[in-house]
Every structure is written in structure tokens, then in C-alpha cells.
Amino acid sequence: MGYTAVKGGEEAIKGAERLEYAAAEGSGLTVEAVEKGLKHAVDAVMSEAGLYAPALAARAVAEAQGDLAEAAFLLRAYRSTLPRVGYTAPADTGEMRLVRRVSSAFKDVPGGQVLGPTRDYSQRLLGLRREETPQPDESPNGAVNAGEDGKLSRITDLLRDAGLVAERRPEESGEPFDLTREALRVPAPRSGRLQSLARGEAGAMTALAYSSLRGFGAVHPTLAEFRVGHLPLRVEHPHLGEEVEIGEVLCTEVEAVGREMGYGGEGEDEEAAMSLGYGLAFGRGERKAISMAILDAAIRAGAERAEGPAGPAEDEEFVLYHTDGIEATGFVEHLKLPHYVTFQSSLDRLREVQRKGAKVED
Amino acid sequence: MKIESLLGDRSPGPSYNYAFLDEPSKRELRRKILKAVSIPGHQVPFGSREMPLARGWGTGGLQLSLALVGLDDVYKAIDQGSDASVNAVNMRSLVARVAEVETTLDTREATIVQTRHRVPEEPLREDQILVFQVPIPEPLERVEPRLSRARKMHAEKDYSKMWLFLYESVAKHGEITVGARYPVIVNGTYLMDPSPIPRWDLPKLHEAPYLSLFGAGREKRIYAIPPHTSVEPLEFEDYRFRIERFPGEAQCRRCGSTDTFLDELIDEESGETYYTCSDTSFCDKRLAAREER
């Protein structure tokens, strides 16, 4: 029956799926190639999915044929099938085996600026052959030779010791909020806010952070430090009570400092200090971690300002409810589903109004 | 935390639990359902999981169904009243696949009917559960986009903005212009969004013998209308709530029905408007009964 175009049986769905996959048939793209060659895609997908699993993320990128929103969605949905086993002990990013570490606040920092792998300072000329070919012994995601065993203390610790950055009282104690197990409501606990941003969509977050920098908000911080490295994670041993290292995750951390970012400190004396915005993303997620740090600070500034948020970036509900890529893409694309019934219902109202209008004119 | 559970499964590929979600997640859902049933019409927040369908495509309803479903259940899914609509087909095959459950097109045979945008034409019994997919659970969203403020309005039972909204539509257009998603008061207390069902379906929910559950996956809310609960649309004494009207001569081109919600269609050849039942399974049944006679 051809009476409506959108209705179809199982056959139509199978056919549509077949067509979608047919285009990539025989491309020779392997999951391994994606994991090794499309690192940034794999990192972005893990970050948005909230699941650190490079091999599964690479599989998702391959199955989604490079549609990263779709890949993140695949991995996040898979995450729903996993029970929560427990929490790690709080991780100290000072223990990262560093891959990259840069401070934009100081020219000379203890341990030095460690550029690591980046194209930040290169000419972006499409198709230009690289002059420098990688040396076989250079492993771009291996730890660099910084400090003892690749570890360096954090710049913000130095700033805190010097009384330049407010010492913040922890806003929560006990178990952190778990975004994957509870609905986030605003005002959110800070652990919930940071989790929400950590799973956010990089593009959406960049746009909002950018709006703050352009004046739709007051926050325009300096990066005390951003670092990329392998962060060791520990869990408490159930019998011995000792902390046991269970592995490392590659992640990017950003600490942004500035005035006009809310105080969040304790006591009068700290009002003269700078405050901090925090960003952390799985993998090499520098753009996202910077945006996260700006938004973390902007939300606090908006909440503490007497006259309220100075722009969308400072509005917690606006930011947190609209930066989740999986929710946003899902809902925007649901408009492709049939809406005959609701449309019929609104047509009925429109016709009723038109009918009445016509009567008045008579 | 048990170290065994960390080391338990070391196989590299994905593996799946019965009914997709892990057991603690399903337990949480069932607890939240109980809370929702205890407070009719009140939105209960829950830790909505990402499902293998996109957000906004019925993940709330799907989570409710998967938390409830067992091997003895019979599951039916409709979209716009139709079992054959693409999303309904997809939903049905997914639930059958992950929960190994029997599925049906017959409303009377199902123990769980999951729906998008319709209440089936055939009345459900008390041993059946109707699960709604909800895009926007907050009825005040039309007048207050901020959930934090809307929550306060519910707490204070302050629905004046909604009344004003309806009044303004009467003042401007001489009619209440809300089409689908018509706001209702449940159990004389909470204002509730019945999901985008047509106004046609609202009277069926009033004092219905069965349990209606509403799941909003993206917005992370569950709410419920327990059996035998009052569901009253907002209306004025002089401007009443009214269901959709179809032109006098309108009837289903297939089964001849004049008492069901109809889809309006255009004949490709003649260009004329015609109608068919939106509830396709009901239409098929009537057609079969008529042909038997």
C-alpha cells in the first residue's frame, strides 16, 4: 500500500539499513586503523560517551562511518548496559605522566613548557608534505621527559601557595553526584555540573564559551595551565583497604584563573584573590577542556552576581541542558519521525479559528 | 566494591544483559515507577540511561517497558496509532531482541502497550499497562521554559500562567488553540502533560481501569496515572475543552469508521482528501469483522 511515504514495514527498515552500510562496503577501514589513525575522533567519542574504552570507541567511529555524534551515541548507549561497580579514589593530576603541559600565565614555569605533540604552532596547509618525518623512537602519546618520571606539580598549586588564587572550600562531601544514575537538576552540585560538562559536546561548549569571551558574559580567563597526560587511577582494595592502581587514562586538564569569575572562597581576605574554572576531558580534548573551564567559571559567576547571569554562558540551566550532544541531536532529529496525529490536531484548531473568523466577516 | 566484579568479564567485545539495562538500573526504574504511581501526575526524576535508540525517539517509554517486561509478557508498540510506523517496528524488534518477549499487533492480547502520540481505540483492561513516550514532560513548558521555576509553580500549585495562556488564546482567536498535548489536572492536584496525544484520546484516560505510565528519557522524568484516577482537561465554563472534529462526511476509507481518530490523506490520482483510521490494528480488526459478515 502506498498511502503514506513514511510508513514501512520491517523490510523497508532493513533495506534502508542495507543502503546505509552499502556505501562503506569494502572500504577496508579497520577498527585498528581508526584507533591508531583517528585518535582525536576516538578521544572525542570516549569523552562524550563518558566511557574510557579506546577499542570500543574506535569500533563506534567505524560503525558510524565517521559520524562522531552517532559514534558517541553508540558508545553511550552501550555504557547503559554496564552496572556501576564503584568509584576510584580521588585522582591527583599532579601524578600524570605528562604528554603535554603548557602555562599561558607565565613564561617560565618550574619544569618548563612541554609542548609535546601538537600542530598548534604549525602552518595548516592542506596537503603539504611534512618536512619532519617522525623518528621511529618517538612515541607521541608516550610520556615526555619532564621532571622525575614525567611528573610535574601543578601551576595552580604555586598560585595558591602565593595567595593569588582563592583556596576553595569543598562544596560537597561524601559520594559524588552521579549523572548517569540521577537526573541533574539546577542548581546542580558542582560534581554534577562538572560531570555534565565533561560529557558535553565540544562544539556546543566551544560556542557558549566563545560567547562569554565575546562579552555575552564576564568570564575571560587566563590558562594557568593545561596538561595532557596519563592519569593513574586507584580503587580501594576490598579486603586490604589499601589503594590499588587499576590503570591509567589519557586526559586533558585545564585550570583557568581570573577575576570576575565568582569568588567561591571563604572569608573576606580571599575576595582579592583570583578564582578558578576547571576543565577535564578524556583523551586529547583541549578545545573542550578549555571551554569547560570557562563555562564552569561562567556558571559560578552568573550564580553569584546579584543581577543574575550576564549571558547564556553564565546561565546554568541553559548551559547544562543544552550542551549534551546525544540529547540535542536525538531530539532535533526526532522531527524526522511521523507527526500526523499532532499535526492533525493542530490543523483542527486552525480550521476552527478560520471558520469562526469567516463567520465574523459575514 | 568487589574486586571480582572488576576482573569478572575480561572478554574484549560488547556483551548484553537481559532487557539491555543492567539489573540495578532496572530496579531503580521500578522504584521510581512506584513513586510515580503513589503521586499521580507528579514528575519523578530518574537517572535516565542512554538507549540504543536516539534521545527523543522514545527512550523514556522504552526504559519503562524494559524495566517491566518479563518472559511472560506480550508487547505491542504503536506510533501515531500504527504498528507499522517505522519507529514502532524498530521499537518492537528491539524489545523482542533484548528481552526475548512475544510481540503482538492486537491491543487486546498485549500486557504492555507502548505508544507514541495515541491511546488505542480499543479500551484497555485493568491487567494491561499503557506506556507513553513523552517528549516534553513539563506541562508548564509552554509558559515557563525554566524547569527550576516550573518546579516551584507545581509545588505551590500555581497554574495561573497556564490559565492565562488559555485565556489569551480565547481572547485572540475565540478558541482554545491547544492542539495535541492538552494540559490536564490529575487526581485534582497536579497539572500534567499527557504527551502529544490528540485531544480525542484525553477522555479515555479519565477514570481508566488500567495503569498509564509516562516516560521522558531525554528530560529524565517518569509520571503515572494509576487506575481509576480523575483526569480533567483545563477548560472554562463558557469555553469548553473539545475533541477534534472531522468534517461531517468523513469516514475511514478502509473500514468505514466514523467514530475513530482519522488520518487525513490526499489521493495521489484524484487529489481528493480522504481519511483512514489512525489506529491501524483496530481498523484491520473492524475490516475483518465486516468481511466475515
pLDDT digits (tens, 9 = 90+) for B113-133: 999 999 999 999 999 999 999
pLDDT at position A165, please? 84
pLDDT at position B6, please? 43
CB contact under 8 A, B220 and A237: no
Task: Give the tens place of pLDDT for each residue, A147-182.
Answer: 557 788 888 888 888 888 887 777 777 888 999 999
Task: Give the tens place of pLDDT for each residue, A269-318.
Answer: 546 778 899 999 999 999 999 999 999 999 999 998 888 899 999 999 99
CA angle A200, A141, A208 (to 5 degrees): 20
A2 pLDDT more than 50 = no
Report DSSP state, residue A284: S
In order of A60, B29, B72, the CA distances from B36 in angstroms are: 36, 10, 24
What residues of chain A lie within 8 A of the CB of B81, using their CB? 341
CA distance A346 to B198: 9
ipTM: 0.73
Least confident of A121-130, A286-295, B108-117: A121-130
What residues of chain B lie within 8 A of the CB of A327, using their CB? 55-56, 218
pLDDT at position B76, please? 97
CB contact under 8 A, A344 and B24: no
Task: Give the tens place of pLDDT for each residue, A201-210.
Answer: 999 999 999 9
Under 8 Å CB pairs connecting chains A and B tally to 191
Evaluate whether residue A123 is within a structural domain: no
The minimum CA-CA distance between B215 and chain A, rounded to whole Å, is 13
pLDDT at position A271, please? 60
Spell out the residues 6+ positions from residue A161 whose beta carbon is closer than 8 angstroms to its own: none
Domain that holds residue A335: 331-361
Q: Which residues of B are catalytic?
A: 41, 252, 255, 277, 283
Amino acid found at A167: E
E strands, chain A, in order? 97-102, 222-236, 243-258, 275-282
- Residues A108, A245, single domain; the answer is yes
- Residues A335, A296, single domain; the answer is no
CA distance A283 to A43: 5
- Residues A102, A145, single domain; the answer is yes
Name the residue of chain A whose CA is nearest to B8's CA.
Answer: A85
Spell out the residues 6+ positions from residue B136 whose beta carbon is closer than 8 angstroms to its own: B181, B193, B216, B219
pLDDT at position A359, please? 60
Nearest beta carbon to residue A182 from set B47, B80, B87: B47
Mutate which: A79, A335, A340, A351, vs B, most B CBs within 10 A: A340
Least confident of A16-25, A234-243, A273-282, B187-196: A16-25
**Buried b or exposed e, range B126-155, using 16+ CB within 10 angstroms:** eebbbbbbbbbbbbbbbbbebbeebbebbe
pLDDT at position A86, please? 86
A7 pLDDT more than 90 = no
Name the residue of chain A whose CA is nearest to B79's CA.
Answer: A338
With cell 549534551, the residue in question is: A324
Q: Mean pLDDT for chain B?
A: 92
Evaluate whether residue A305 is within a structural domain: yes
- Residues A221, A306, single domain; the answer is yes
What residues of chain B lie within 8 A of the CB of A78, using their CB? 14
How many domains are contained in chain A? Answer: 3
Cut 0.90: pTM above it: no
- Residues A294, A355, single domain; the answer is no
Least confident of A225-229, B85-89, B180-184, B206-210: B85-89
pLDDT at position A4, please? 38
Cell digits for B226?
494509576
- Residue A23: pLDDT band (50, 70, 90) is confident
Mutate which: B2, B80, B182, vs A, most A CBs within 10 A: B80
What residues of chain B lie within 8 A of the CB of A182, using their CB? 45-47
Ranges of each domain in chain B: 23-137+185-230, 245-293
pLDDT at position A141, please? 54
Sign of CA dihedral B108, B110, B112, B115: negative
- Residue B218: pLDDT band (50, 70, 90) is very high
A334 pLDDT more than 60 = yes
Residue A130 φ/ψ, nearest 5 degrees:
-70, 135
The minimum CA-CA distance between A8 and chain B, rounded to whole Å, is 6
What residues of chain B lie within 8 A of the CB of A77, using their CB? 50-52
The minimum CA-CA distance between B246 and chain A, rounded to whole Å, is 8
* Element at A303 (helix H, strand E): helix A286-304
Averaged over B247-267, what is the pLDDT? 92
- Residues A160, A59, single domain; the answer is no
pLDDT at position B3, please? 40
B270 pLDDT more than 70 = yes
CB contact under 8 A, B85 and A182: no
- Residues A185, A238, single domain; the answer is yes
Please tell me the number of Cα atoms within 13 Å of A336 on its side-chain side.
Answer: 10
CB contact under 8 A, A73 and B54: yes
Averaged over B35-48, what is the pLDDT? 97
CB contact under 8 A, B198 and A13: no
Superfamily of domain B23-137+185-230: Bacterial phosphonate metabolism protein PhnH (3.40.50.11310)
Share of chain A above pLDDT 70, in %: 87
- Residues A35, A100, single domain; the answer is no
What residues of chain B lie within 8 A of the CB of A10, using their CB? 89, 93
CB contact under 8 A, A180 and B49: yes
Farthest CA pair distance, chain B: 71
CA angle B273, B279, B281 (to 5 degrees): 120
CB contact under 8 A, A329 and B180: no
Evaluate whether residue A88 is within a structural domain: no
- Residues A73, A213, single domain; the answer is no
The minimum CA-CA distance between B128 and chain A, rounded to whole Å, is 23
Task: Give the tens place of pLDDT for each residue, B59-92.
Answer: 999 999 999 999 999 999 999 999 988 889 989 9
Evaluate whether residue A2 is within a structural domain: no
Q: Is residue A230 helix, strand or coil?
A: strand
Averaged over B40-45, what is the pLDDT? 98
CA distance B140 to B119: 22
CB contact under 8 A, A182 and B22: no
Q: Mean pLDDT for chain A?
A: 86
The minimum CA-CA distance between B209 and chain A, rounded to whole Å, is 24
- Residues A178, A29, single domain; the answer is no
Share of chain B above pLDDT 90, in %: 81
CB contact under 8 A, B46 and A80: no
Q: Is the preceding omega at residue B196 within 30 degrees of 0, hence cis?
A: no
pLDDT at position A121, please? 79
What residues of chain A lie within 8 A of the CB of B178, using their CB? 349
- Residue B16: pLDDT band (50, 70, 90) is confident
